[in-house]
Amino acid sequence: MSVDVLLINPPLPSNSYSKELVTQPLGLAYLAAVLESAGFSVKILDCPPLDYTYKDVKNYVESLKPKIVGVSSTTLTINNALKIAEVVKEVSTEIKVFLGGAHASILDEETLAKSFYVDGIIRGEGEVTFLEVVKKIKEGKSLNDTLGLTLKVDNKIVRFSDRPLIEDLDSIPYPARHLLPLDKYKAFGMKCPSVSVLSSRGCPFKCKFCAVKRLFGNKFRARSPKNIAEEIKEIRERYKVNYITFVDDIFTLNRERTVKLCDEIKKLDVIWDCETRVDMVNEQLLKTMANAGCQSIFFGVESGDQSILNNMGKGITVEQIRKAFNWAKKAGLKTVASIILFYPGETKITIQKTLRFVKELDPDLVQFCIATPFPGTEFYDELLRQGMLQEFDWSKFDVLTPVFALDGFTELEMKKIWSEAYISFYLRPLYLFKRMIKRDWPTLKAFLYMLFKAIKLKLK
């Protein structure tokens, strides 16, 4: 058996999240769909849910004999992605290996310089660039001047011009989900299978801790409600899945579009969840979403202290956060709050203020993240200039591990406060009582997972 292209999502670091948090590699599934539409044979190997080791990967590559391999990368997985490239070249030096994804796109020259085994980097949106690369290799043509590509040419690294973003997202074929182990992906804390859907790309906001604008630009580009509805219909009919997780950065940015999309989704009898900003919703919109099958909404709260929110460039107020949570609860939606602790400017006083605020909001779930300066963010650039970064082992950039120095806190104190934040929120008698009364077992399961993680860290 031989294929033209093998796409690989590398294993997670051994110190990383449980498989319960593994999500579908939609980027690879989109690449595969574009390649298949052009007549190329493709396979996807998603290592995390399959527990594949490097030896397993090597055996798989040997069995498929691909001509080209594409490897995805995040900051957390970049070291493992480079190891995958090495493993592939051990099978055959004739196989061309390309890296893509957030980390490789942003630190493309540094990443390419680190590895003898990577032939090039596909930057940003990869659908058009990677298809062009595959076509040129198959036709024996030079890759020079390929937009969106960083390449090694005569032992020198050459960065060709950026490729324009894809304007018509409806023109991209639906992800090749038939190449993924869909039975391995579950909605967090639930037994039912879940499928991820991306209905838009790009974000116009300027949060200093986020790198989305470096990948997808500041312009918000959205698919049409009809196109999204057809994809969901395919998911139900072909894959027999009726739980959808929208992975847009801001699902409700365009309210008129959101309402039209809800009208379409309502006809399909699916349940779903999404993520958005607190200033991008109102009471009526949340009711409309709930009536269309939305069960849960994830808000980036980040902090309960206005000065810290301002430091982050978040562009929201504490009062907007309160209103959004009240509206969501009135609509009958489960709420999830994401909190970032230890952002520059943070003190023990601001942290206690945030922890009190989270208990006041009383979301169904909360996740506490340790501020992590990912490459491509203003946060990272500022710390780099100030010499505050203490860690460049990318496998520790997991939002659970302190990687920079913050005045007023030792690393041990950060870990202790982080774990105690989980314990103090989830072990409240009223919180536990409400979940028992509601017989909300999925939420309880998710809570127990996060509580165990916090206690385990605290006892180290």
Residue type, 309: L
- Report the distance separating Cα 341 and Cα 167, nearest Å: 36
- Report the distance separating Cα 283 and Cα 357, nearest Å: 21
**Are 104 and 150 within one domain?**
yes
Residues 395-408 have pLDDT tens digits of: 999 898 999 999 99
Count of CB atoms situated within 10 Å of the CB of 131: 17
Could you tell me the CA-to-CA distances from 280 to 81, 250, 300, 338, 378 in Å, in that order? 36, 8, 11, 16, 23
Predicted pLDDT at 452: 74
Q: How many domains does the chain have?
A: 2
Predicted pLDDT at 5: 98
Q: Residue 254: exposed, middle, or buried by beta-carbon count in 10 A (0-12, 13-18, 19+)?
A: middle
In the chain, the largest separation of any two C-alpha atoms, in whole Å, equals 67
Predicted pLDDT at 214: 83
Cβ neighbors of 121 (< 8 A, separation 6 or more) are 98, 99, 100, 104, 105, 108, 111, 112, 149, 150, 151
Cβ neighbors of 116 (< 8 A, separation 6 or more) are 89
Helix H or strand E segment including 443: helix 441-458
Confirm if 253 and 226 have CB atoms less than 8 A apart. Answer: no
User: What would the two tokens of residue 385 be?
Assistant: 């200039």
User: What would the two tokens of residue 147 be?
Assistant: 């937009």
C-alpha torsion sign, points 189, 438, 325, 415: negative
Reported in sequence order, the residue ranges of 241-288 that DSSP labels E, i.e. its strands, are: 243-246, 271-276
CATH, residue 54:
3.40.50.280
Cβ neighbors of 73 (< 8 A, separation 6 or more) are 10, 81, 99, 100, 101, 102, 103, 104, 111
**Are 125 and 204 within one domain?**
no
Among 159, 175, 203, the domain boundary falls at 159
Confirm if 327 and 276 have CB atoms less than 8 A apart. Answer: no
**Are 85 and 146 within one domain?**
yes
**Are 143 and 275 within one domain?**
no
Confirm if 308 and 350 have CB atoms less than 8 A apart. Answer: yes
- Report the distance separating Cα 276 and Cα 254, nearest Å: 11
User: What would the two tokens of residue 215 be?
Assistant: 């990948």
Predicted pLDDT at 40: 98
Residues 301-339 have pLDDT tens digits of: 999 999 999 999 999 999 999 999 999 999 999 999 999
CATH, residue 408:
3.20.20.70
Could you tell me the CA-to-CA distances from 346 to 101, 137, 353, 396, 408 in Å, in that order? 31, 51, 11, 21, 9
- Report the distance separating Cα 5 and Cα 137, nearest Å: 11
| Domain-embedded: residue 114 | yes
Predicted pLDDT at 454: 64
| Domain-embedded: residue 168 | no
**Are 140 and 210 within one domain?**
no
- Report the distance separating Cα 128 and Cα 120, nearest Å: 15
Predicted pLDDT at 192: 78
Parent domain of 288: 187-458
**Are 378 and 454 within one domain?**
yes
| Domain-embedded: residue 167 | no
Q: Nearest 5°: phi and psi at 302? A: 70, -50
| Domain-embedded: residue 169 | no
**Are 98 and 150 within one domain?**
yes
| Domain-embedded: residue 170 | no
- Report the distance separating Cα 457 and Cα 451, nearest Å: 10
Please give the angle made by the CA atoms of 339, 341 and 343, to the nearest 5 degrees.
120
- Report the distance separating Cα 123 and Cα 107, nearest Å: 10
| Domain-embedded: residue 173 | no
Confirm if 264 and 228 have CB atoms less than 8 A apart. Answer: yes
| Domain-embedded: residue 136 | yes
- Report the distance separating Cα 405 and Cα 415, nearest Å: 13
Which stretches of the chain score pLDDT less than 70? 15-21, 188-191, 450, 453-460
Q: Which residue in 148, 123, 205, 219 sits closest to 377, CA to CA? A: 205
- Report the distance separating Cα 264 and Cα 308, nearest Å: 39
